[in-house]
Amino acid sequence: MSGSAMPAVGPQAGIVAGRPALADPGTSFRSREPATARQRDAVFADAQLEEADAAASAAAEAFFRAQTDESERRPALLLHALAVVLEGRRSELVRVAAAETALTEVRLNSELSRTTGQLELLASEADSRSGRPVEEDAAGAEGFAPALALGHVPLGPVAVFGASNFPFAFGVLGGDTASALAAGCPVIAKGHPAHPETSQLLGEIATAVVADTGWPAGWFSLLHGRGAPIGQALVRADGIAAVAFTGSTRGGTALATVAAERSVPIPVYAELGGINALYLLPDAAGNATAADSAFVAGLTQSLTGGSGQFCTKPGLLVVVDDDAARRTVDHLATALAAVASPPLLTPGIKAALVSGQERLREHEDVEVLRGGPSASDALDHPVSSFVARVSSQALRADPSIADELFGPALVVVMCENLDDLIDVTGSIPAGLTATIHAAPGDATTSARLLRRLRLRAGRVLFGGFPTGVRVGRATTHGGPYPATNAPSTTSVGVRAIDRFLRPVTYQDLPDTLRDRALSWT
Amino acid sequence: MSGSAMPAVGPQAGIVAGRPALADPGTSFRSREPATARQRDAVFADAQLEEADAAASAAAEAFFRAQTDESERRPALLLHALAVVLEGRRSELVRVAAAETALTEVRLNSELSRTTGQLELLASEADSRSGRPVEEDAAGAEGFAPALALGHVPLGPVAVFGASNFPFAFGVLGGDTASALAAGCPVIAKGHPAHPETSQLLGEIATAVVADTGWPAGWFSLLHGRGAPIGQALVRADGIAAVAFTGSTRGGTALATVAAERSVPIPVYAELGGINALYLLPDAAGNATAADSAFVAGLTQSLTGGSGQFCTKPGLLVVVDDDAARRTVDHLATALAAVASPPLLTPGIKAALVSGQERLREHEDVEVLRGGPSASDALDHPVSSFVARVSSQALRADPSIADELFGPALVVVMCENLDDLIDVTGSIPAGLTATIHAAPGDATTSARLLRRLRLRAGRVLFGGFPTGVRVGRATTHGGPYPATNAPSTTSVGVRAIDRFLRPVTYQDLPDTLRDRALSWT
């Protein structure tokens, strides 16, 4: 691998505190290009299970040293340096990630910009918060009222499990790593087996930047592995203080169980999934019936972008069954037919999507309007986008109709009237988002719907489409289970940092110790 | 029970949404007065397991109704009314609690004042936060930048498990219930079997106030029970959204396991315990050697108040082994001999304390300076306060010497020098608090110690004693495990509310819906 500081001798199993991780013999694998079905040249392997302990132990030592020695290290400088180096390596990163994921270079360039922007935003947040009290209670004149100053300390080493669908923004140097580093925590990232080469590149960048900015080598490690054991070993390892995960409900809850069974239980912040329902209210539907309406164009784009492989992809469209809604849905099916979807990320994702579509096709209460498996849908070919229609009664009778289809697929729920539409919200699972499209005539329904949807999503949109996530101060990327298992948290935006901080109250803190107490690092 | 609105027909098993809970036949019990060993008249029983589901279901219905109907209900008014009624029933509450706990009326009056003050503080916090955005990102002119407004919604019904040692402040209407209600969540409280009559009184007050202030009856329920099954049934029940617990590590982690195994996992916020270490640095020790020094008097009071049955009772005194420290410890032992401790709360607490003291007495590296089991320490008699001494090397060799002794007991750790004292912090378990007593000559050590102790406690005190907890804006009552299993949270102070809120981001929220979106209830 050109440009790499690490000699590629034998399969690469990751990087532990600056040195190559030891590989578990007989576990080598290569990444596969979804667009060509070819295997790439670079060879990877599962790290030995002992490397999880070695990485955790190095991280814990590095953390203790950074907390207690006299050096001043600003997380913001580390994050800023990462952003600068990522920018400098942009073309190589995008080229490798595009080959490993079949996501377009346009999309990956935009995702990388989001990733560097996220690093800079969190750097600035860390700088503005570290060293300042969160709250203070001045000493009182009467009764028991000592002076209190509330600060934060980092939790300690964080294990990060990235997602398959965002190799940059939710990858080795994605939002979880960025927010853990911003909080002053070391990170051990698990490389994603669907893009090991991208993971390795990012890991090498992190290793070099950690060294160049004066942090102890244990501040960052990367472990490769295809199976569950290496990840579980990492979550079990002494010294790990928290886990951040983005992926499947099954994978995330399994790690949460491992974490709860430790002798010292640790928090697992898992962003899992769920359904993103979009409610098109009748007056708004009346405005959307043109074949080239903004609604039809926007929903087509939101459904097919990245082959529909977004946690926030709209999976359900809920409408009142009237002429306008039917015409809009027909136009949507037509518009989707004109959009080619790139191949899916992995054979596993494709198999799950195909089987989910088969399930709906065979369901007697579901009418398939477009798409579904065909000869050209063999593995390593693009899938067609898929639209099915179901009545609200059928959905109530069989809520599994709303199970998430990860890919360019949508189920339209036809309601009898407005009360039925309001009521069916109770049969639709929670998710990261819920979206209301309303026109002035829908005001009353919109107000009623808001109060129900806020109980079932981490973000409620008024117009627009949920696949765009603004990374800001007011961002929530979370929600009720299964959007996340940690409902009070967000995995995106400046408040993602708070997952990795612990409050500490200083009582009658002397002024001379104030900076030392309130600084995160 | 005079003054009660509930007819006492048969054993009382609690209150489910305003009606008496059904009792499990054959499970009746009475509370026992620790000071007299007499059983009290009132008869209680375990609630039937089905009552956990009934209470949870009523709470979930009440919650959905409050979130979606057009009535305006302010949690602040509910909390304020509770505070007023508790004040009105003060003498009865204190009398019953004193009989059930053997805590002094002075202490219980002060605890009740803290409890009503807490209700008022959280009421005011809810009023000032509900309806206002936490953060906003204005719409941007370029790129993808929709307007975001961050609000909060209540999590839903909360199961509250109170503690034996604070019948008011951590009881049925204690901080957990107050912060859940402030957040707009219904509460199902588990009555503590050590003070069922106090629990029942508080439950009847809550039931009446809920009705009088216009909340649905399911907003509050109380379930009695001596064993684990009723509590586990409550944590498993559909509709429960979160659990708050104060008590033993074993009990809290058992409930956390039950919660993690649900089909919809829910957060458990458990305040568990740990050790509270107090570091007396050499220059400060030199100032403390008088028999009547403020340090000796303060530590004596902190150790023996409430018979030492505080989560924040100092359990370890860490000193450098010099003449001043030895004299101070001798004076402490003398001062403790002059203080009578009231009986312990329960036979179980007494048995655990006696066995812990026996363990230390038989330990070859531990020197007992005062106290320990004796003929007068039979159950239902006061225990003597207990002081033992151990070297830092012995503690490193056997960290179980630092295991929490719940009661008026202290272990003094003698260190060889300052470096040894700094280093031994790594062998002392985490806890709710850590305290540094320093004089000007201790400045360097104090600064080094601060950076280690903040990694091991939720509150770091400079002077003073940890048993006083100021309930304020900057309060942290938490810390690393086992202080709590949820390190980012506090169970006391205004930020306790945040455990029961979930962030929701509104994207492009219309002004007309702003109040409806941002109001918690």
Task: Identify the CA nearest to B139 among candidates B507, B513, B514, B427.
Answer: B507
Active site residues of B: 271, 311
Rounded percentage of chain B residues whose pLDDT exceeds 90: 89
Using pLDDT thresholds of 50, 70 and 90, give the confidence band for residue B372: low
In B, minimum Cα distance to A501 occurs at: B488
The amino acid that residue A152 corresponds to is H
Residues of A in contact with B517 (CB under 8 A): 450, 454, 460
Q: What architecture is the A14-133+149-272+484-518 domain classified under in CATH?
A: 3-Layer(aba) Sandwich (3.40)
In B, minimum Cα distance to A486 occurs at: B267
pLDDT tens-digit profile of A156-190? Answer: 999 999 999 999 999 999 999 999 999 999 999 99
What CATH number does the domain located at B14-272+484-518 have? 3.40.605.10
DSSP B469: -
In B, minimum Cα distance to A482 occurs at: B264
Longest dimension (CA), chain B: 81
Mean pLDDT, rounded, for A416-429: 97
Per-residue pLDDT at B143: 80
Using pLDDT thresholds of 50, 70 and 90, give the confidence band for residue A72: confident
Nearest to A454 among B153, B454, B468 (CB): B153
Helices then strands, each counted (H, E), chain B: 16, 19
**Cβ–Cβ under 8 Å, residues B427 and B399:** yes
Nearest to A513 among B267, B450, B488 (CB): B450
Using pLDDT thresholds of 50, 70 and 90, give the confidence band for residue A143: confident
Per-residue pLDDT at A373: 57
Flag if B480 and A502 touch (Cβ within 8 Å). yes
Domain pair A14-133+149-272+484-518 / A276-462, same fold: no
Mean pLDDT, rounded, for B441-453: 97
Rounded to whole angstroms, the Cα distance separating A414 from A79 reads 48
Residues of B in contact with A314 (CB under 8 A): none
Residue B3 has pLDDT above 60, yes or no: no
pLDDT tens-digit profile of A367-388? Answer: 999 986 554 545 556 678 999 9
CA distance B473 to chain A (A): 6
Evaluate the CA torsion angle A281, A283, A284, A287 in order and state its sign.
Answer: positive
List the single best residue of B235, B435, B507 to mutate versus A (max A Cβ within 10 A): B507
Residue B201 has pLDDT above 80, yes or no: yes
* Tally of CB atoms within 10 A around B505: 34
List the single best residue of B240, B502, B514, B516 to mutate versus A (max A Cβ within 10 A): B502
Pairing of strands A39-44, A276-280: unpaired
Flag if B135 and A452 touch (Cβ within 8 Å). no
Rounded to whole angstroms, the Cα distance separating A485 from A217 reads 32
Nearest to B459 among A260, A479, A505 (CB): A505
The amino acid that residue A92 corresponds to is E
ipTM for this prediction: 0.96
CA separation (Å) from A435 to A275, A511, B155?
A: 11, 50, 20
CA distance A6 to chain B (A): 34
CA distance B448 to chain A (A): 7
Return the residue matching tokens 């640095």.
B281
Residue B7 has pLDDT above 80, yes or no: no
Residue A427 has pLDDT above 90, yes or no: yes
Residue B217 has pLDDT above 90, yes or no: yes
Rounded to whole angstroms, the Cα distance separating A513 from B293 reads 26
Flag if B146 and A490 touch (Cβ within 8 Å). no
In A, minimum Cα distance to B481 occurs at: A264
Rounded to whole angstroms, the Cα distance separating A329 from B332 reads 81
Using pLDDT thresholds of 50, 70 and 90, give the confidence band for residue B381: low
Flag if B513 and A472 touch (Cβ within 8 Å). no
Per-residue pLDDT at B281: 98
Continuous segment of H or E residues that includes residue A159: strand A158-161
Crossing angle for the helix pair B105-129 and B75-88, to the nearest 10 degrees = 160
Per-residue pLDDT at A19: 98
Per-residue pLDDT at B393: 98
Flag if A256 and B260 touch (Cβ within 8 Å). yes
Q: What architecture is the B276-462 domain classified under in CATH?
A: 3-Layer(aba) Sandwich (3.40)
Residue B450 has pLDDT above 90, yes or no: yes
Using pLDDT thresholds of 50, 70 and 90, give the confidence band for residue A70: confident
Flag if A481 and B455 touch (Cβ within 8 Å). no
Using pLDDT thresholds of 50, 70 and 90, give the confidence band for residue B379: low
Q: What is the DSSP string of A226-239?
A: SSHHHHHHHHHSTT
CA distance A69 to chain B (A): 9
Highest mean predicted confidence (pLDDT) among A100-104, A276-280, A341-345, A377-381: A276-280
Return the residue matching tokens 């109907």.
B69
**Cβ–Cβ under 8 Å, residues A413 and A424:** yes
**Cβ–Cβ under 8 Å, residues B476 and A504:** yes
In A, minimum Cα distance to B497 occurs at: A488
Mean pLDDT, rounded, for A213-225: 97
Flag if B479 and A502 touch (Cβ within 8 Å). yes
Mean pLDDT, rounded, for B114-139: 97
Flag if A503 and B509 touch (Cβ within 8 Å). no
Per-residue pLDDT at A371: 85
Per-residue pLDDT at A273: 83
Nearest to B256 among A145, A265, A458 (CB): A265
pLDDT tens-digit profile of B386-412? Answer: 999 999 999 999 999 999 999 999 999
Q: What are phi and psi of A128, to 5 degrees?
A: -80, -20
Crossing angle for the helix pair A323-337 and A294-304, to the nearest 10 degrees = 50
Per-residue pLDDT at A341: 78
**Cβ–Cβ under 8 Å, residues B429 and B274:** yes
Flag if A149 and B68 touch (Cβ within 8 Å). no
Flag if B504 and A137 touch (Cβ within 8 Å). no
pLDDT tens-digit profile of A474-509? Answer: 999 999 999 999 999 999 999 999 999 999 999 999
Per-residue pLDDT at A142: 79
Residue A467 has pLDDT above 60, yes or no: yes
Per-residue pLDDT at A340: 83
Which residues, at least 6 apart from A450, have a Cβ–Cβ distance to it below 8 Å?
Answer: A436, A460, B513, B516, B517
Residues of B in contact with A145 (CB under 8 A): 470
Continuous segment of H or E residues that includes residue A77: helix A75-88
In B, minimum Cα distance to A144 occurs at: B470
Pairing of strands B501-507, B148-154: antiparallel
Q: What is the DSSP string of B319-380?
A: EE-SHHHHHHHHHHHHHHHT-PPPPPS-HHHHHHHHHHHHHHHT-TT-EEEE----GGGSTT
Task: Give SS3 for B97.
Answer: helix
Residue B373 has pLDDT above 70, yes or no: no
More confident residue, B346 or B120: B120
Which residues, at least 6 apart from A162, have a Cβ–Cβ distance to it below 8 Å?
Answer: A170, A171, A172, A174, A176, A189, A190, A191, A192, A199, A246
Residue B4 has pLDDT above 70, yes or no: no
pLDDT tens-digit profile of B132-183? Answer: 999 999 999 878 899 999 999 999 999 999 999 999 999 999 999 999 999 9
CA separation (Å) from B503 to A398, A454, B240, B267, B492?
A: 30, 10, 18, 15, 20
CA distance A421 to chain B (A): 15
Q: What is the DSSP string of A353-422?
A: HHHHHHHHHT-TTEEEEE----GGGSTTSPPPPEEEEEEHHHHHH-GGGGS---SSEEEEEEESSHHHHH
Per-residue pLDDT at B378: 52
pLDDT tens-digit profile of B80-102? Answer: 999 999 999 999 999 999 999 99
Compute the count of residue pairs across chains A and B with CB atoms less than 8 Å apart: 227
Domain boundaries, chain A: 14-133+149-272+484-518, 276-462
Residues of B in contact with A152 (CB under 8 A): none
Flag if A509 and B136 touch (Cβ within 8 Å). no
Rounded percentage of chain B residues whose pLDDT exceeds 70: 96
Active site residues of A: 271, 311
